Every structure is written in structure tokens, then in C-alpha cells.
Chains A and B, each alone.
Chain A
């Protein structure tokens, strides 16, 4: 019964197009990751939800596999084009160890009825962590959650 319901649950989620995924259970026996990972990575999120007042709350978790203790500074770049040649806003961010490297900036779009693209940047340049900055999502006044681009 539970399995059938879980199946229906998964089906309902994908049909409705809801971004949240069914969480996996912990492995039954201790599992160590095969190869050590290096560099910066987004482990969760990079998503945004629209508040009732029209502002967007972003949710992102960024870690550095080479240095799991130090805070990471970066920014959220908002642009009107997918290529980020027209950056309209930059929100400075700190991913701090005391906050589990989670950042939740709030951003109120200043432009009118347009879709905006956003990405995260480590340090000052997207070239510091290309794999992080290559993840681009969009927010639009007519939707309630961000969309992958």
C-alpha cells in the first residue's frame, strides 16, 4: 500500500511539474563517496520563490570541497539576457559556515514586466567557479517559482 502510494506520489509530483523531489532515504550501510570532489559546487537549491509582495526569495547552498571551513564570498547576478551581457543588479552574498553555507537573499525586481535571468558567482568573476556560474535560472513576474534555463 505504501509503495503504491509513493508511486502515485511521484507521479503526481511530475504531472504537476513541482520542482521539489521525493527525498531519498539514507543508505542502509555507511557509504563513502567514491572519488573526492574538488572545487566549488552548488549542493542544493539555486531556486527562488516569489513572495506575496512581489519580491523574490532565493535559496542556495554553495560549498568549497577544498576548504570546508572558510566562509565563501560571492554574488547573485541578475541580467535581462541569458548571456549576462546586460547585468541589471548584483547582490553581494556571503556563504558562511555558521549558516551551513546557505544564503537566502531577497530581491525586488526594479524593472517592469520582463523575465530576468540569474546566476551565482564565486569571488568577483564567473571564471572562478565556471560550474557554479553556468547554472542559470529565470524569474518572471507571472510565475511563482524560478525556472531552469
Chain B
């Protein structure tokens, strides 16, 4: 079997809560359970042996859905060394115990011989119909922006796993920083949104709320950020300004 690395975006519904992702990582490390990738129904094309996180989760907020995504590097063992999965193909990822079933949408060519790149989005099944229209936009956004920052060469390093996509100077470009750097600089975390777009297209925008595997207090994060802004800019009516900042500016 040919073993290769794959870089995928794992995406699940819900704000700052990635229970399915944690279960997925758990199964991938559990010797008594296994994960298989199925193509066109029931043919097993590959098995997943090891999953490592590459970045801290990124939030997605649109009119239709709230989700969280994490950049992940699974090791994939291919049954057929000549197998090729084309962009646009839909595969299924299931665990032997049946506790997990996910959809894999290929963004780029995947296979034992394919070059390493962000190559697929792994989705919880309930997200597929809501997310499918955004697929092209996601592919372009994540492919271009993330790949310009993280060099995705083989072997892919997971040393970046504790970094957040964000900024440390509001209004400047986004990069990868530790939680402490963003918080002490009163910076923003990247959030993907379709706010202001004419079609189903993602933009990136700053949000005071970090993406997380476990739930975080969104109101507390927004409140702290907006109160600091009020203090720095010397707002005359702090309470209504903070309320506007929390409910409109950083909705």
C-alpha cells in the first residue's frame, strides 16, 4: 500500500465546538477502530492511520450556517497505488464501529502520487447541502491565502498546530500567531463569512472570538475587545457604543 500525507479541512456545524472532530481524531488513534475512505458507494480506496492538527480552528459565520473548520493532516494508506481522485469527487469516510460517517469533497487531485496541497474538505453529513455552494470559494480562499503563508511541502510539518489565523494590528494583513500574541496585542481572529458578498462567496474578516475545539464565551470575548476599543478611542457613550460594537460591528 502506498502511504501519503493529505492536507484537509475538517468542517463541522456549530460555533466553537468540534465534538465530531475530536471523535474523528480519537478513532484515528484507536487501535481497535479504523477509518476508511469509500469511493462510489462501497469500495474502500484508502484507510486513515494517523491524524494531526496543523492549525487552530477557524470560525465560519454565514446567513445559513455557523461552522468551525480545522486544518488537519491525516496519513492515508492507498489500496491501489494508481488510484486518483479528481477535484469535485465526493467520497465517504466511515469508522469501522459505525460511530462516524463523514463526507469528503475533493478540492484538488488526491492520490498516492498527487502533490501535497490543501486537497479536500471533510464535512459532517448535515453540512453538505448548506456548504456545497461555497465549495469553489472555499477552495480559492483557503488554497490561496493559507498556502501563501504556510508552505505546504512534503513532509508537511504540524509544528504550526497551536497557531491561530489572525492579526496583531487591526486593519493589517492576517498571519499566524499564538493566542497570547493576538490577545496581548488586542488583535482579531480570522472568521470566514459571506457578509456583504453578492453570491455564496466567502470573505475573511476579523472577529474577537477565537475558533476552538471546545465552546468559548463569545459574549465575553466580544465584550472585552469592544471595551478596550472604547477605552483606547475614548468613546463618550461607552455602554451604547459597546452594545453597537458587539451586535453590529463584530456580529
Name the contact of A57 in the complex, choosing from B23, B155, B168, B178 (C-beta under 8 A): B155
List which A7-60 residues lie within 8 A (CB) of chain B: 8-9, 12-13, 18, 20-21, 23-33, 36, 43-47, 49-52, 57, 59-60
Q: Using A1-B23, A20-B161, A98-B175 as known contacts, say yes or no to A28 and B181 having CB atoms under 8 A apart.
A: no
Task: Indicate if the CB atoms of A44 and B56 lie closer than 8 Å.
Answer: no
Q: Chain B residues with Cβ under 8 A from A51's Cβ?
A: 153-155
Interface-lining segment among A73-81, A86-94, A99-107, A119-127: A99-107
When chains A and B are docked, how far (Å) is the Cα of A53 from the Cα of B169?
40
Interface CB pairs A-B, < 8 A, 18: A5-B26, A9-B26, A25-B214, A28-B215, A28-B217, A28-B220, A30-B224, A33-B184, A36-B184, A43-B163, A44-B160, A45-B160, A47-B157, A49-B157, A60-B159, A97-B175, A100-B177, A102-B176
Query: Across the two chains, which residue of chain A brings its CB closest to B187?
Result: A68
Q: A102 to B216, alpha carbons, bound, how many Å? A: 28
The 7 closest A-B pairs by CB, nearest first: A5-B26, A45-B159, A100-B175, A26-B212, A25-B214, A59-B157, A100-B176
Shortest CB-to-CB span from A53 to chain B, Å, is 10
Question: Is A139 among interface residues, defined by CB-CB distance under 8 A?
Answer: no
Chain A minimum-CB-distance residue to B164: A26
Partner-binding segment picked from B27-35, B135-143, B237-245: B27-35
Least Cβ distance of A125 to chain B in Å? 26
CB atoms of A44 and B159 under 8 A apart? yes
The answer to whether B26 touches A2 (Cβ under 8 A) is yes
Known: A20-B158, A31-B183. A99 touches B149 (CB 8 A): yes
B residues adjacent to A (C-beta < 8 A): 16, 19, 22-23, 25-27, 29-31, 50, 52-53, 56, 99, 149-151, 153-155, 157-164, 168-169, 173, 175-181, 183-185, 210-217, 220-221, 224-225
Q: With the chains together, A40 CA to B220 CA distance in Å?
A: 31
Of the listed residues B158, B212, B224, the one surrounded by the most CB atoms of chain A closer than 10 A to its CB is B158
Instruction: Specify which chain A residues have a CB less than 8 angstroms from the CB of B214 in the assembled complex.
Output: 25-26, 28
In the bound complex, do residue B168 and residue A68 qualify as a contact, i.e. CB atoms below 8 Å apart?
Answer: yes
The answer for the CA separation of A104 and B154 in the assembled complex, in Å, is 12
Shortest CB distance B75–A (Å): 11
Question: Is the beta-carbon distance between B29 and A12 smaller than 8 angstroms?
Answer: yes
Nearest to B157 among chain A residues (CB) is A59
Please tell me the number of chain A residues within 8 Å of chain B, measured between CB atoms.
47
Residues of chain B lying within 8 A (CB to CB) of residue A135: none
B contact residues around A52 at 8 Å (CB): 154
A63 at the interface (CB under 8 A from B): yes
Chain B residues whose C-beta falls within 8 Å of the C-beta of A57 in the assembled complex: 153, 155, 157
Residues of chain A within 8 A (CB-CB) of B181 are 43, 63, 68
Partner of B161 from the list A4, A23, A27, A100 (CB cut-off 8 Å) is A23
Residue from B30, B50, B224 in contact with A5 in the complex, judged by beta carbons closer than 8 Å: B30
A144 to chain B, nearest CB (A): 8
Task: State how many angstroms separate the Cβ of B179 from the closest Cβ of chain A.
Answer: 6
Binary interface encoding of chain A residues 131-149 relative to chain B, with 1 for a CB under 8 A from any of its CBs, else 0: 0000000000000100000
Indicate if the CB atoms of A33 and B183 lie closer than 8 Å: yes
Cα(A61)–Cα(B213), bound, Å: 23
Contact assessment for A29 and B157 in the assembled complex, using a CB-CB cutoff below 8 Å = no
Contacting pair A5 B27 (CB below 8 A): yes
Given contacts A12-B31, A13-B29, A45-B157, 13 further A-B contacts (CB under 8 A): A5-B25, A6-B25, A12-B30, A18-B50, A29-B217, A30-B183, A30-B220, A43-B163, A43-B178, A43-B181, A45-B160, A49-B155, A104-B151
